Structure 1
Amino acid sequence: MLDKKFIYLFYCLLSFFKTTIHYIHTVYYVQTYISIYKINPYSFWIAECLFLIWNSLNDPLFAWLSDRYTSSIDNRLNNLTLCGPLLCLSSLLFWYPLVGINSSLLSLQLLLSLCLYDTFLTMIDLNYNSLLIDISLYKREILSSASVIGSALGSLTLFSSYLVWDSSNLRLFRIFVTILTILIMYGFLIVTQSMKQILYCDHAKSNQENISKGHIPTLWQFIWGISRHRNYLVFSLVNLIQVFHCHFNSNSIPLILNIFIPSSSSSLLSSILLGISFLLPHLSNIYFVYLCKSQSTYYVILGLFYVKLFFTLYLFIQGNNYTWLICLFLVSNRIFTEGICKLFDLIITDLIDEDQFMHQRISPLPALVFGTMTFLSKPGQTLAPIISSHLFYSIDKAQKGLFNKIVMIPIVCSLCQIILWNKFTLRGYRLTSIRSMLKHSNEQINI
């Protein structure tokens, strides 16, 4: 039997595997289809809009099935064992066109690739995030920190991926991605099986017995319940804006680097900036998670909203005359947006507690809450590549016009989020009281 302390390492590694695959997908697939495969812009937008339908529906559906039929820790790890390698295989479809370049069928391949990829990613996200709640032996903050460290390590692959990236010849990039994908496939299998050995114990079994006694609502009953959950609705709007901003940053970074640092001699600088912009948010998040313990997650997120707003306003006033300032903007904007996204997982765990308290559930429904939250944020994920692709097609326009568009997005997002976030009341005394009552209730159930 492995030492239980290894659970933090394995949770970190799962985050590393998922982040590595997803960051490469997010950063390069839009540019690949638009500037290399030369897909028609209208075909691209139609494929993204059709994908939005499946992308939105699968989250609450899979979440309900997960909590209703596979809510045990053992089953969640089985899902990760299956879906991890399938996610890796589906990601390769983006880099190997099955039809000729400029073919009208490219949009069908894009649609198929997106749907397959998102199906497995959704299953991984739901089961991975639910483990944060299900593994009651371990503290959420420590597991969250382990997840952040894994994401930081996963972002390091972007350094090397950008060095082998060549829009005129994808051969080296495809070799790099294929080898990396095979290694991660085996990693998923080894880590999930090791976690099963650790978590298959009397404590886990007793927890599952308690869960099985709880009433699992139908999907429509749950949706009706959260429609009256005020904090849930406020947070879902804030999260929608944040998901859009995070994905817009990821999709548009190669574009911004190509426009404002266009010379071939700057490829190393662009590689470093790309890697740092994905690495630093996770390193800074280790501090943000620590800060949340003393200052509360709510106020840390509110502070990040204000910092993001004021720094972007400063950049807007300075204009696009300073390359170093644009580079600093790229890195800092990623720190603020990704930092907030990672902290949102802690807010969702609080919403899960509030949902359990409001509806007097014997056990929480983590997958359903995560799934419906993702469902409500998916339009932002789809709008991001559409808008960033519009910037690609506007590449012949003046730098100043593109600069203004890029800068205005974080300004508008920050203003909307600050207004909404002040209406979120799950903080302070209310949050402390809910946690205390749930803890007392769980102690009575265990007795």
Structure 2
Amino acid sequence: MSKTSLRTRMWAYCAASFGFTLLSSTFSFYYVKVFLTFYHIDEKWFHLAQILYLIWNAVNDPLFAYCQDTSASWMPTTRRELILYTGPLFGMAYLTAWFPWAYSSWVTGLHLIVALCLYDTMFTFIGLALCCLYTEITVTESERIRLTQMSQVVGFIGSFSVTLCEFSSHSLKDFSKFQATTVLLAVLSAVFMVYAGKHAHTYYDVRKMMATNEGENEDGCTQSTDRTSYWRLTWQILSDRNFLSFVITNFFQEFHRSFIMSFTVIICDQLISEDDVHPYVRSIFYGSIPAIHSLLVIFGAPLVDKLGYFSVIRGNFVWKILSGLTMVFLGQGHPWLLIMFLLADSAYTNMAFSFFNLPLSYIADANMQRFNRNHPMSSMIFGTNALVVKPAQSLCPMFIVAVLNMYGYQHLKAGTLTSFETSQLKEVMFRLACCLPVVMGCLQFLSWSFFSIRLRHAPSHTIDVTA
């Protein structure tokens, strides 16, 4: 079997990341608005779907992670094969949300439940494999920052899938064109996933290839054969103070990101009129939300390498607190300033999140060394992280929708709110947009202070494999 260069493997990872971003950006950005505005889902069904989605999230991530790390017989044997076989299925699951089944209350509710759970199943398969590839393709901090930078280049391009949907559908005014665009995105994603599935060999795959070619017996297999029980592995991970500090921080980061991706368009449609900001500019703004943070990562990676990811991530929490308080003090009578605040908050929050795989990778490395494993339990580390963090993706929409409906958002869509009630609803939206980052930043600054892995040197097992 031929050996692949590090650069080839890194670009294969980037191909998978590109395909993943094409779908994940648009799904998280549009599904709430589509089901609330176009399918008119009842609030009770919306909350039920989010609760079931939360439960399924809590089950599938650690389950799939354990199966991947312990070489379950029904699973593909390598990370890249997971992407190869499930990538096209991810596109099919993604499309489930954009084609309505019917417009009755219970059918729309069932549609959301199936769409969320099916999408998350494939999202978990691909997401876990990508996270593990990130940890296992590269082994030094400089390589990981470089891979982050490379993946953000293609991620930046992929995130313009939202812009493509915005302009092709005229901000969803032509829903049939939006549907056609999502089909195109699903096909493109599948093509890039298949390419990555054929070329994204990990460091441990390459090491095994080298040993096989040289006639040696290599103990470091493609995936761990450690048959430690699931509960024992989970306890080993959860008993790590660094892991606990990280997942608490990550939970609030995910909560904030879900708010940005799902509710920015809803809030801005109410707070910023077309007289203040032209619809064309608004579409550019919406399209920039998933994309602009990639530019920060691409051009800021050398600075992150110099300062360290710990300081850069902590700086995001300070920004949230200071900028949010400043915007509250200035008030909502400045539409252009509000747009700049929301764009900057989204960019820095998502930029910091782009480096969250670094601390998780070092937690996986430390766990491998601590328990003397041949292979890092990457899937279990990332899966246990998801067990704690991904419920934020359901809790955030449930909380925000409940608050908005308390102040008449459902009646606003029907056009039955008085001018006073409308003004009150807009004030609540403004407070949510400004105060939620402040609360998140305070909680994260505290939890992140307990994380102690702040500088890593190149591990001794680094190898150089050339084509």
TM-score exceeds 0.5:
yes
Counterpart CA distance in 1 for 2:438 and 2:185 is 37
Residue 7 of structure 1 contacts residue 198 of structure 1 at CA under 8 Å; is this kept in 2? no
Question: Which residue of structure 2 lines up, in the alignment, with residue 221 of structure 1?
Answer: 232
Shift of 1:402: 1.6
Which 5+ residue runs of structure 2 have no aligned equivalent? 213-217, 413-421
Which 5+ residue runs of structure 1 have no aligned equivalent? none
Shift of 1:149: 1.7
Instruction: Kindly report which structure 2 residues correspond to 1:435-446, keeping only aligned pairs within 5 A, or say none.
Output: 439-440=459-460, 442=461
Residue 50 of structure 2 contacts residue 394 of structure 2 at CA under 8 Å; is this kept in 1? yes
Shift of 1:143: 1.7
Cα distance 1:134–1:8, how it changes in 2: closer, same or farther (>3 A)? Answer: closer
Q: 1:364 aligns with which of 351, 376, 386?
A: 376
Cα distance 1:371–1:199, how it changes in 2: closer, same or farther (>3 A)? Answer: closer
Counterpart CA distance in 1 for 2:198 and 2:211 is 21
Residue 62 of structure 1 contacts residue 123 of structure 1 at CA under 8 Å; is this kept in 2? yes
Question: Which residue of structure 1 lines up, in the alignment, with residue 151 of structure 2?
Answer: 147
SS in structure 2 at match of 1:105: helix
Say what the alpha-carbon RMSD is for the aligned residues: 2.7
Say yes or no: does 1:299 pair with 2:311: yes
Shift of 1:313: 1.2
Counterpart CA distance in 2 for 1:218 and 1:242 is 30
Say yes or no: does 1:404 pair with 2:431: yes
Cα distance 1:339–1:156, how it changes in 2: closer, same or farther (>3 A)? Answer: same
Shift of 1:108: 1.1
TM-score normalised by L of structure 1 = 0.90
Q: 2:452 aligns with which of 425, 433, 439?
A: 425
TM-score normalised by L of structure 2 = 0.86
Say yes or no: does 1:414 pair with 2:441: yes
Q: 2:178 aligns with which of 173, 177, 185?
A: 173
Cα distance 1:196–1:296, how it changes in 2: closer, same or farther (>3 A)? Answer: closer
Summarize deviations over 1:118-151 as a string: whole Å, max 9, x none.
0111010111111122224782222222222222
Q: Which moved more, 1:409-418 or 1:103-112?
A: 103-112
Question: Which residue of structure 1 lines up, in the alignment, with residue 198 of structure 2?
Answer: 193
Instruction: Kindly report which structure 2 residues correspond to 1:98-113, keeping only aligned pairs within 5 A, or say none.
Output: 98=101, 100-113=102-115
Counterpart CA distance in 2 for 1:213 and 1:3 is 22
Give the counterpart letter for 1:302 in structure 2: R
Q: 2:67 aligns with which of 65, 71, 82?
A: 65
Q: 2:344 aligns with which of 311, 316, 332?
A: 332
Counterpart CA distance in 2 for 1:340 and 1:196 is 27
Question: Which residue of structure 2 lines up, in the alignment, with residue 377 of structure 1?
Answer: 389
Residue 312 of structure 1 contacts residue 410 of structure 1 at CA under 8 Å; is this kept in 2? yes
Shift of 1:15: 1.0
Give the counterpart letter for 2:378 in structure 1: P
Say yes or no: does 1:233 pair with 2:244: yes
Cα distance 1:259–1:204, how it changes in 2: closer, same or farther (>3 A)? Answer: farther
Give the counterpart letter for 2:119 in structure 1: Y
Residue 78 of structure 1 contacts residue 192 of structure 1 at CA under 8 Å; is this kept in 2? yes
Give the counterpart letter for 2:429 in structure 1: L
Give the counterpart letter for 2:84 in structure 1: T
Q: 2:271 aligns with which of 247, 260, 274?
A: 260
Residue 83 of structure 2 contacts residue 196 of structure 2 at CA under 8 Å; is this kept in 1? no
Give the counterpart letter for 1:69 in structure 2: S
Give the counterpart letter for 2:148 in structure 1: S
Residue 45 of structure 1 contacts residue 386 of structure 1 at CA under 8 Å; is this kept in 2? yes
Shift of 1:199: 9.4
Instruction: Kindly report which structure 2 residues correspond to 1:120-159, keeping only aligned pairs within 5 A, or say none.
Output: 120-136=122-138, 139-159=143-163
Say yes or no: does 1:95 pair with 2:105: no
Say yes or no: does 1:210 pair with 2:220: yes
Shift of 1:168: 5.1
Cα distance 1:403–1:203, how it changes in 2: closer, same or farther (>3 A)? Answer: same
Residue 238 of structure 1 contacts residue 417 of structure 1 at CA under 8 Å; is this kept in 2? yes
**Alignment: residue pair count:** 435
Shift of 1:3: 6.6
Summarize deviations over 1:214-269 as a string: whole Å, max 9, x none.
63422101111123211111111111101111111000121122112332882211
Residue 404 of structure 2 contacts residue 429 of structure 2 at CA under 8 Å; is this kept in 1? no
Residue 48 of structure 1 contacts residue 386 of structure 1 at CA under 8 Å; is this kept in 2? yes
